[in-house]
Structure 1
Amino acid sequence: MMYPQHSLGIDIGGTFTDFALWLADERRFVTMKVPTTRARPAAGVISGLERLATEHNVQPSDIGYFVHGTTIALNTLIERDGARLGMLVTRGFRDLLVIQRLRMPTPYHWRTGRPEPLLPRRHVFEITERLGPDGEIETDFVDADVDVAIDAARAAGLDGLVVCFMHAYRNPVHEQRARDWIGAKAPDLFVCCSHEIWPRMREYERALISIMNAYVMPKVDGYLGDLQTRLESVGLDATPFITQSAGGIVTAASARRFPVETLLSGPAAGVMGAVEAARLVGVGDFVTLDIGGTSADVAFVDGGVPRISQSEHVADFPLLMPVIGVSSIGAGGGSIITVDEMGVMRVGPTSVGADPGPVCYGKGGTVPAVTDAFLVGGFLNPRTFAGGRLDISVDAARRALVSLSGRLGRDEAGTVEAVIQVAVSSIYAELSNLAAKQGVSVRDYALLPFGGAGPLLAAPVAEELGIRRIIVPANPGTLCSLGALLSDVSKPFVRSIVLPLAEARGVLADALRDLRDRATTWLASESPGLAGHRFDVAADMRYIGQSYEIDVAVEPDWLTSGDLASISAAFHQRHRAMFAHADAAAPVEIVDLRLTIAGATEKPFAGGGSKIEAKAAARDTTRPLVVGGRFVPVPVLSRQAMAIGTSIAGPAIVEQDDTTIYVAPGWNALAHESGTLIMERPAQ
């Protein structure tokens, strides 16, 4: 796949839409932000294209490669304004969505409740049919039951039907029959079958993924259809690609059919951009810290490979599909600051959102947010915020903090310091817990911050965690859009096994062959002409009798040669790393085999610059900054004017169009030849 023309990556956030344009003739990046139009996201994309034409003389027709990250699916789930659905289930399983998993989501919170299903029980229709656990037909399919469901769905004004039958992951024959019957009798109802979305055992999770896919489908389909029409109208003929939750990209046509795969596309693209930024400075093990307007997202990367998770939750629902393991904390720039009746400060998880936004935006907001505290504390420059395209008021932010200062009994500087400490504590708690679950020590990792506020809080967070190295990318505020450009065309495929490992030798070889055939066929139709592809293989395994399984990377050769000993050893090693114990003598069960195909796209050159002699950083100016609970004059530098090899000793502020970097006391920063800023703190 060759792209002689310019390449454009876009990521739509709640407040800003980020653009990363690779100028092929000049071999450099242009990045920018435009305000997000929440009601019409595609309008923000077109607005950005117009700016590119006006300010950089790049016409839409000059763009030969277009990648786009979207939050449409995620927002639809969170806001619960998706399609009106019904579901067909095996007779006797009508309460599947109500029972869920019985256990309490939060065991130590006695008043916690299970999430409200996305469709009510009255819209769940029982169908006479039954397959056994091996896929054999135990009860024949009754077509008349589907007719009853169709009549009820039409009477209720539903948009579509989800089909999830027992053991359909083993044999899809009954789901296919239901789909064909509905298509013939009720073409006005769209259909999603569980075996087409993610064919794994566990009926509740499989049903939930299928429901989520159908629930967001009309919104995503409508948005992407509108986007493609608008792009064509302005002369952009490139095939739009969409970023996926697992870190790859697919065509817009695929995303419209399987929109559930785009739920975490923005955070996943950011992690892929972070992988490239770390590679440029030779760092493989790091933790990402993406702080935007609503939340702080964190993820672990080992050896340059993001950790994949199948236990994430989206809008309170478990997501069984593999995604880049990103955990969110309600500690973003728009997070609301409150002080309760006991004088205890809280930051988030509620956010002021993009409209009205923090008080300093001047859009009618009255509740103080973290961005207001950053501005009052001197961390933000009102003249250069968001590239100077958004006017923000220090006086308005200062007035918003007055009531907080009174309730805390602190002065202005002390209040700002308290906000930072509470936000850092929230991130510290989440990262510490996440590291414990992963069976790693966070001190062994570097920290890679991005997003609008990530580089501001990176040093305080790193100090709390005992991290001594911070990698700040060249364009942290638009890293998600850059990550989209650096992603491969990719898709995971799964095959349920559910056998003791000792009995699975031949089954595993056959399953791998089947998955490879399906994956290569898909890639050939999805994006022909790629330079090459690779396979990543993993298995979900457990000790026989366990109620949960863990993800274990396996080598394809182990499967084709029947090397069960190596597979078993990999499982025991992974189990010991996660839970600090393993029993090599205990029998092991393999539940699923998963293969991900990645077709290599041509990557834009992500480094830049030539080596020049290192020199001390020239101080552009100084301004008062809250350091240790009081205002201290610190130097302020422009990152764009920093020469390679520039060295900075904290405390200092480094400004650029898309973010601000805080070099805390005790930290030293060095401008790397790749454009990355490396911050280090000597061991205590």
Structure 2
Amino acid sequence: MGPVAARGGCVRRADRPYSLRHPGRRPVVRTVQPWECRVTSPQHSLGIDIGGTFTDLSLWRADEERFITLKVPTTRAQPALGVIAGLERLESEHGIRPADIGYFVHGTTIALNTLIERDGARLGLLVTRGFRDLLVIQRLRMPTPYNWRTGRPTPLLPRRHVFEVTGRLGPEGTEEIDLIEADVDAAVDAARAAGLDGLVVCLMHAYRNPVHEQRVRDRVRERAPDLFVCCSHEIWPRMREYERALISIMNAYVMPKIDSYLGDLETRLAGMGLPARPFITQSTGGIVTAASARRNPVETLLSGPAAGVMGAIHAASLVGVSDFITLDIGGTSADVAFVDGGAPRISQSEHVADFPLLMPVVGVSSIGAGGGSVITVDEMGVMRVGPVSVGADPGPVCYGRGGTRPAVTDAFLVGGFLNPDSFAGGHLQLSVEAAREALKPLAERLKRSEAETVEAVIQVAASSIYAELSNLAAKQGVSVADYAMLPFGGAGPLLAAPVADELGITRILVPGAPGTLCSLGALLSDVSKPFVRSIVLPLSEAAGLLAEAFHELSGQARLWLASEAPELSAQRFEVAADMRYLGQSYEIDVAVEPRWLEEADLAAIAGAFHRRHRAMFAHADEAAPVEVVDLRLTIVGTTEKPAARAVAVRAGEALRPSGSRQVVVAGRFEEVPVYLRRAISADSSFVGPAIVEQDDTTIYVAPGWTVGSHASGTLIMERTR
């Protein structure tokens, strides 16, 4: 056997190309391309986000100091085709050759879709003897306490593929029972007989001491080098064996798809002459190399939504706004996130495909319908929007691709909000008549006119977002009226004003390219990665261990960044602790200053916890003992950010609409002025109702709203009634 590369959760032979076995397919072998890593000062920089309906591109053209944005349809079966189509359009329409692109960042939903569609690797799980039913028992609480018929999610692998291994470590990491390697051998034999692709190892208390997991990994590699192995202590070494096992299983489950896709993408990009080494966005809002993403793909599960939030933070910072709610409405869903003080809220309690994800991610919640959400009327005559989506293929009826079910986009088109000739930059012609015919049965069932039916669709979509967003705000102890709203995605600016009216929000910020903000966010993100160390001690006893953990994690982080992006000299640490009152079962996230750890300032750490607890739950007990569960450190390597030119001021030149059309306003058609976004200067202003058209989206200015333009190109909508 040759030397072994053991970085990340899955191991492979270091002296041969990366290989993963696919269910029912021959092994896929990829050789990493010898690309140059350029993170700063490239000629042109490209950010890409693959959504369920469209693939978005944001290119920074360095020679002209401006952004170019494109939208191309997503091919679900082969997502790389959308990327290639976008690159071809950049060359044919703008003269940007792939060879001119020196920096390439890419966000993808492939890992997330693999989980949702249950189309991942066939896996086995090795657990400590006595814990075979770990995935079946899960957590004893019901997912929905008030629903007696609710069930727990079906595990990603069946019980017959869970294998017990004798051996036990205590909660402090000391060995209580020696590992029996014969059990490992039996598990390997059973896995090979079942035709499994890989094995996941999650043993008790491995977060404290990985020695047993390491021995299992080495034994599997020795007995079955064709099986890949993921160990829980190498993915996210935290207490709680069920959640730790889930993270490791999800990582291994999506790995073949991610490896195959990224390998295919790298080969295609190299064939087109693109010299940049691809970077991939993460769920934390940062980026890593494609090689890192292939090792730990679980970190990319929510990369697209996270990149959108990072793009929104950049856009809001240009106008001096730091507290706002993002509203990302794409083809399939409406996602929201709270931003406080210019930083996203980091969550460790998100659910992905019904499973808890106990890793830090940008807190994005899916709460409503998207442009492709299907409109139905039930047997009681009640209209519903979503959750089923028509996707990009066949798409809404108005796409003319064989779709038969009316979607929200069809209603927007019939209502006059969309221009059928300029949708997606004019690259997709929409059929008003087809959309009208699709909506007609709904109008008949509702006994309403066409305009009233369109108004009902808007009200139902806005009301569902209002209800869910209000609940989210209540859980976080905030009032939505204290925030501005920043909409993006293809449909976000269309629904922003109706949603804001429902919520009592009085200010809306519409960035320059809202339809492609996720790809812009990817382009503007920094290289980063989180690291964790379990503590599980009362704060009064944890001073030494906290200092030791901080130095250990910071050392690991510096080594990682040096190998990931050695040319980045500007870096910083973001440190947080998961803390709780002694005896509580769940902890809260508390930001910690590094000097508190180095100086053993336990009073400062405790004070930060009490303040955070009071902010979240409106009370704190400063006399109660506090426990530290984990210490987390994120290293951030700062990338160079492009700075676009300010929007020009056209003094003395009045803004004139490009035309007008019939648009549904308050349940009836009304002649409404239409403005072109590119014609709006920094000193322009106008009032609603109005429509603003641009290549990547359409903005609806509702009655009672005024619009002004900022020098950054952001439109600022303010409610006047």
Residue 608 (1) aligns with residue 649 (2): no
Residue 36 (1) aligns with residue 74 (2): yes
Residue 320 (1) aligns with residue 358 (2): yes
The answer to whether the Cα contact below 8 Å between 1:167 and 1:201 also exists between their aligned partners in 2 is yes
Q: Give the letter aligned to residue 471 of structure 2.
A: N
Residue 593 (1) aligns with residue 626 (2): no
Question: For residues 374-412 of structure 1, what are the alpha-carbon distances to aligned partners after superposition, in whole Å with 9 as ceiling and x for unaligned?
Answer: 111111000111111111111111111111111112111
State the 1:4 CA deviation.
3.2
Distance 2:236 2:387 in 1: 31
Q: Give the letter aligned to residue 376 of structure 1.
A: V
Runs of 5+ unmatched residues, structure 2: 1-38
State the 1:577 CA deviation.
1.4
Distance 2:66 2:44 in 1: 10
Distance 2:379 2:604 in 1: 58
Residue from 568, 584, 592 that aligns with 1:554? 592
Q: Give the letter aligned to residue 103 of structure 1.
A: R
Q: Give the letter aligned to residue 286 of structure 1.
A: F
Q: Give the letter aligned to residue 619 of structure 1.
A: P
CA RMSD of aligned residues (A): 1.0
Distance 2:645 2:308 in 1: 17
Task: Identify the residue that residue 531 of structure 1 maps to in structure 2.
Answer: 569
Residue 357 (1) aligns with residue 395 (2): yes
Residue from 10, 23, 26 that aligns with 2:64? 26
SS at match of 2:132: coil
The answer to whether the Cα contact below 8 Å between 1:287 and 1:445 also exists between their aligned partners in 2 is yes
SS at match of 2:77: coil
The answer to whether the Cα contact below 8 Å between 1:28 and 1:608 also exists between their aligned partners in 2 is no
The more displaced of 289-298 and 421-430 is 421-430
Task: Identify the residue that residue 31 of structure 2 maps to in structure 1.
Answer: none
SS at match of 1:158: coil
Runs of 5+ unmatched residues, structure 1: none
Residue 185 (1) aligns with residue 203 (2): no
* Aligned residues between the structures: 683
Residue from 268, 275, 286 that aligns with 1:230? 268
Distance 2:123 2:644 in 1: 44
Distance 2:325 2:47 in 1: 23
State the 1:360 CA deviation.
0.7
The equivalences for 1:52-67 within 5 A come to 52-67=90-105
The answer to whether the Cα contact below 8 Å between 1:614 and 1:644 also exists between their aligned partners in 2 is no
Q: Give the letter aligned to residue 596 of structure 2.
A: W
The answer to whether the Cα contact below 8 Å between 1:378 and 1:624 also exists between their aligned partners in 2 is yes
The answer to whether the Cα contact below 8 Å between 2:582 and 2:625 also exists between their aligned partners in 1 is yes
SS at match of 1:559: helix
State the 1:610 CA deviation.
3.8
Question: For residues 156-215 of structure 1, what are the alpha-carbon distances to aligned partners after superposition, in whole Å with 9 as ceiling and x for unaligned?
Answer: 000000000000000000111111111111011000000000000000000000000000
Q: Give the letter aligned to residue 714 of structure 2.
A: T
Task: Identify the residue that residue 480 of structure 2 maps to in structure 1.
Answer: 442
Residue 200 (1) aligns with residue 215 (2): no
Cα distance change of structure 1 residues 199 and 405 upon mapping to structure 2, 3 Å threshold: same
Distance 1:266 1:47 in 2: 19
Residue from 662, 670, 691 that aligns with 1:624? 662
The equivalences for 1:238-277 within 5 A come to 238-277=276-315
Question: For residues 13-69 of structure 1, what are the alpha-carbon distances to aligned partners after superposition, in whole Å with 9 as ceiling and x for unaligned?
Answer: 111111111111111111001111111111221111111111111111110000000
Task: Identify the residue that residue 649 of structure 1 maps to in structure 2.
Answer: 687
The equivalences for 1:455-466 within 5 A come to 455-466=493-504
Task: Identify the residue that residue 391 of structure 1 maps to in structure 2.
Answer: 429
Q: TM-score, normalised by structure 1?
A: 0.99
Q: Give the letter aligned to residue 149 of structure 1.
A: A
Residue 429 (1) aligns with residue 467 (2): yes
State the 1:330 CA deviation.
3.8
Residue 488 (1) aligns with residue 526 (2): yes
Distance 1:412 1:86 in 2: 55
The answer to whether the Cα contact below 8 Å between 1:442 and 1:467 also exists between their aligned partners in 2 is yes
Residue 571 (1) aligns with residue 609 (2): yes
State the 1:606 CA deviation.
4.2
Residue 404 (1) aligns with residue 404 (2): no
The answer to whether the Cα contact below 8 Å between 1:91 and 1:128 also exists between their aligned partners in 2 is yes
Distance 1:630 1:475 in 2: 30
The answer to whether the Cα contact below 8 Å between 1:542 and 1:548 also exists between their aligned partners in 2 is yes
Task: Identify the residue that residue 510 of structure 1 maps to in structure 2.
Answer: 548
Distance 1:287 1:295 in 2: 16
Distance 2:93 2:648 in 1: 26
State the 1:613 CA deviation.
2.5
State the 1:617 CA deviation.
2.1
Distance 1:162 1:537 in 2: 29
- The percentage of aligned residue pairs carrying the same residue is 78
Q: TM-score, normalised by structure 2?
A: 0.94
The answer to whether the Cα contact below 8 Å between 2:648 and 2:681 also exists between their aligned partners in 1 is no
Residue 297 (1) aligns with residue 367 (2): no
Q: Give the letter aligned to residue 531 of structure 1.
A: S
Distance 1:400 1:109 in 2: 35
Cα distance change of structure 1 residues 461 and 56 upon mapping to structure 2, 3 Å threshold: same
Task: Identify the residue that residue 13 of structure 1 maps to in structure 2.
Answer: 51
State the 1:607 CA deviation.
5.1
The answer to whether the Cα contact below 8 Å between 1:221 and 1:256 also exists between their aligned partners in 2 is yes
Q: Give the letter aligned to residue 237 of structure 1.
A: P
SS at match of 1:523: helix
Question: For residues 387-439 of structure 1, what are the alpha-carbon distances to aligned partners after superposition, in whole Å with 9 as ceiling and x for unaligned?
Answer: 11111111111111111111112111111111111101111111111111111
